[in-house]
Amino acid sequence: MAYRRSALVTGGAGFIGSHLVDRLVDDGYRVIIVDDLKTGKLKNLNHEATFHHLSITNPTLLDVFKRESPDLVFHLAAQSSVPKSVQDPILDNEVNVLGTLRLLEVSRRTGVHKIIFSSTGGALYGDPEEVPCPDDARVEPISPYGMSKYMAEQYLDYYGRQHRLNYTTLRYGNVYGPRQDPHGEAGVVAIFILAMLTGHRPRIFGDGNQARDFVSVDDVVEANMAAIHRGHRQSFNIASGELTSVNELFGMLRDITGYRWEADHGPTRTGDVYRISLDCTRAQEELGWVARTPLAEGLARTVQYVRESAAAEGVLQG
Catalytic residues: 145
Classify residue 172 by burial, with Cβ atoms within 10 Å: 0-12, 13-18, 19+.
Answer: buried
Q: C-alpha angle with apex 216: 263 to 86, nearest 5 degrees? A: 60
- Measured CA to CA, the distance from residue 114 to residue 200 in angstroms comes to 45
> Kind and range of the H or E element at 104?
helix 99-110
Q: How many CA atoms lie within 13 A of 108 on its CB side?
A: 16
- Nearest residue to 150 via CA among 123, 178, 173, 183: 123
Q: C-alpha angle with apex 135: 134 to 140, nearest 5 degrees? A: 90
